[in-house]
Every structure is written in structure tokens, then in C-alpha cells.
Amino acid sequence: MAEAGHRMCQESLPVLAHIWLVYNATVHGSHTAVFLFNLSTALQRREETMTTHHARSLCLLFFLSAFVILVGDGRAAAQGTAMKMNNSDPSDSTGQTRTYYIAADEVTWDYVPGGVDGLTGKPFRSVSLFAGGPSPDAKPVEKPVSTSYVKALYREYTDSTFRTLKPRPAEWEHLGFMGPLIRAEVGDTIHVTFRNNGSEPYSMHPHGVFYNKDSEGAPYDDGTSGADKADDAVPPGGTHEYIWQVPERAGPAPGDVNSVMWMYHSHADEYRDLNTGLLGPIIITARGQSKPDGSPKGVDREFVLWFAQVHEEDSWYVKRNLPTVEKDRAIPSLPTSASTGAVYPYFVTFSINGFSHSSMPLRALTMHKGEHVRWYLFSGSNDFDFHSPHWHGNTVVINQMRTDVTFMAPMQMVTADMAPDDPGIWLLHCHVSFHNAAGMNARYVVTP
């Protein structure tokens, strides 16, 4: 029996090697072909003197190498298919058109609405230190300061007349000063009619989705002109139609959960526009993974959180909000009398969705034990917009890793899934210590 197996291996190896040679020369090119040619030649020369042990070893080697190469070919083919899907022509869209009417409006925003520090439960003491005189030795003077600022915010309307604001649903109250949520599914087209009710040129620039040059919303020398530049900076009182398509590469990638978040923001003057407040979220679900309300299948609750350092002195409304800022000589408040850490004056705010010092209403971040909760997190674009969101009481899964803290670089986006199992009122904050001390925190509720 063993001798028969020996003869079968001995006689079939040269033939199999020649067949394998032709396949690999075609698929893998000359280097693999040369190796297999040499292997085939060696097999023929040793055919007569090959022992049973040699035959078995070479059989095993041959079939193992074939298996490895075929598996590699299969993985490469799968990756190629995925790349083809991700690079599919957006014009092949067979989904629906989702229409939004969004305006940039001037709004007064309070970073501590209600005037209560949610962490202590006591009235928030809004004060700052100022230079007491021209002498460096002058004793600093403490003065009250406002937590309210005029901003330009994206707001949603019911139709193209822009006369009636569309009410924000209760489940999205937590968005705070962010713009309205834009939803779509892979294969859809997003159509935004934008009206600039502000006092400066603004735009809407999206991340992730597909757009032509007339819907990019960013001014720079890109070789275009005429109608392709009208989207770059919409003048006060102006209107522009932005059309964004949602191909496969705008949706979840292989290994992602079934929805991902992008953002849109004004890019006419990116630095000042973002500090003025013009930013909002986009959530894209995988093809066929949307429920009737647009939310991803299998998810019970969604939250979008923007961890942002905002420089109000660089807002377009600095002259209205801080008319004497250049001569006030505000002094950054140090954590301790001997502190050398990074600190900022009072008009540089640290908030989550525009809520500082846990002033976001508890009802806005409430969920039930056992629900599938999806958190979409992203950060701002200023000098210290590096954040470490941390959930007390519960854990999340991010990129198939369980954790209760994550990290975000400026404008980075993260998706985290939670199955809350610990009821109570819990702290959610940035773990960069001075950010937390400056007010970058909120509380969330898990009900039994």
C-alpha cells in the first residue's frame, strides 16, 4: 500500500508541477514560474532514485505551497473585489435622493445653559482674572464674564422658503450647537439647499462622500472657474445647491460596523468659520442596513459628540462678543498657584456639543440597560483639539477592541458601540486633565 502511494506521488509530481508552472506563470509572473520550473526539472531528474520518504516530503511540500498560493490568490481576489466596490462609479447609484434645507443663522449660544455646574449641582461661577494695572506686579482683578456668545450655526428648515425651522427631534437634543444630522445609505444622493443668513461668506464642505467641484464648498486654486466656484463661499443672503453622492467608499468598510460618521462644515475661512460654530454630522449606513427612520439596523440609540476647543476671540463675531478683548488683558486661570501647564483665557471654551461643565440636560444622553447604543465621536480643529473621551461605568467596543477610553486627533472621527449594563448617572469626559477642568464633560444616564 505504501509502495503504491510512493509510485503515485513519484509519477504524478512532474505532471502536477508542469500544470502548476503554467498557472503561476500566467497569474504570478516570471519569478514564481522560474522557481516552479526548477522544481519540475529536479523532480524529473530524481524520479528514478526518489525514495518513499522523499516522495512523501515533496508531495506534502507541493500541496502546501499550492494551498498557500491559492489562499493568497483568494484573499487578493476578495480584496480586489472590495476595492472595486469601494471605487464603484457614483453615477451607478440606485438609492433615493435625501433632501435637506439648511441655513447658516446668527444665534446666541450659552455654553452653560441654566447657569448650573452639572458636576457640583451648584450655580456656575462664571468669572475670570484680569490684569489689575499696567505694572507686572499689579494684583489681578476678578470680574464676572458671560458664557453666551453670538454664533453662526447650521439650522434645518422645512422647505426652500427658509421661513419655518424644522423642529429638532428630542433624541437629537444632545447635538447642541451642531448643525442638523444628515443621513443617507450607500447608493443614495444627498441634496442640500443652503442659505447663508449670516454676515460673512460661508459654505458647506462634506467629508467622505463623493462630490463634483461645484459641491465641494472650499475655495482654493483648483483650476476651475465659473459655476464650479459658486459653492466655495456663498455670500450673505445667497443660496447654493450642494449635491453629494454616497458610493460604497463613503460607507462602512469591510470590518466596520454597519454605519459610519462623517462631518460637514464651512470651509470659506475654515479657521474662523469653525470657531464661529459651523459644523454638523453625517451618518452613512451600509447598503440595505437602514431602518425606515434611516437609523442603522440592530442599533437602538445613537449619540453624536463633538469634543471641541473653541476660540471665541477668533470667531467672526469677536467684535460683538468681546468688544474690549484687546485691552482687557484677561489672565488664564491656572489650576494651581505653581502650575506651568497649558492654560487659556476664559473666552477659549472646552465643551461637548457646545455644553460645558456638564450642563447638557441629562434627558439628552439617556439610554436603557441592554440597548445597543452607538456613539459617534469627533474632535475640533484648534491647537489643542487632542482628546481622550472616557466613559465611567460602562465599556465600549472600538475597532473590535473593548475599552472605556479612546483617543482623537484634530477632526478625527471614531465610532464606538456600547451595551450598557450598569444603571446610574455616569460621567463622560475628556481625560486630558485640563480640558476636563475647563468644562469638557457631560453626564449620561443608564436606566434599569
Give the amino acid at 347. Answer: F
Are 430 and 309 in contact by the 8 Å Cβ rule? The answer is: no
Q: Say what the pLDDT of residue 138 is.
A: 86
Are 421 and 358 in contact by the 8 Å Cβ rule? The answer is: no
Q: Say what the pLDDT of residue 197 is.
A: 98
Q: How far apart are CA 407 and CA 129, in angstroms?
A: 32
- Furthest-apart CA atoms within the chain: distance in Å: 104
Q: What is the pLDDT of residues 217-265, one digit of tens each?
A: 999 999 999 999 999 999 999 999 999 999 999 999 999 999 999 999 9
Q: Say what the pLDDT of residue 117 is.
A: 97
Q: Say what the pLDDT of residue 342 is.
A: 66
Are 239 and 201 in contact by the 8 Å Cβ rule? The answer is: no
Q: Tell me 249's DSSP state.
A: G
Q: How far apart are CA 316 and CA 227, in angstroms?
A: 27
Closest CA to 298 of 373, 400, 239: 373
- Cα 313 to its chain centre, rounded Å, is 26
Side-chain half-sphere of 369: how many Cα atoms within 13 Å? 8
- pLDDT bracket for residue 89 (50, 70, 90): low
- Letter string b/e over residues 234-263, b meaning 16 or more CB atoms within 10 A of that residue's CB: beeeeebebbbbbbbbbbbeeeebbbbbbb
Tell me the CATH number of domain 97-447, given options 3.30.70.260, 3.40.50.1970, 3.30.70.20, 2.60.40.420. Answer: 2.60.40.420
- Cα 438 to its chain centre, rounded Å, is 24
Share of the chain above pLDDT 90, in %: 72
Q: How far apart are CA 397 and CA 301, in angstroms?
A: 15
String of DSSP letters for 159-217: STT--SBPPPPGGGGGGTTS---EEEETT-EEEEEEEE-SSS-B--EESSSEE-GGG--
- Cα 305 to its chain centre, rounded Å, is 10
Helical axes 2-27 vs 52-86, angle rounded to 10° = 30
The pLDDT of residue 406 is above 90: yes
Q: What is the dihedral of CA 21, 24, 30, 32, to 10 degrees?
A: -80
Give the amino acid at 57. Answer: S
Residues 6+ apart with CB under 8 A from 227: 214
List the beta bridge partners of residue 194.
102, 240
Taking the whole predicted model, whether its pTM rises above 0.85 is answered as no
Q: Say what the pLDDT of residue 134 is.
A: 80
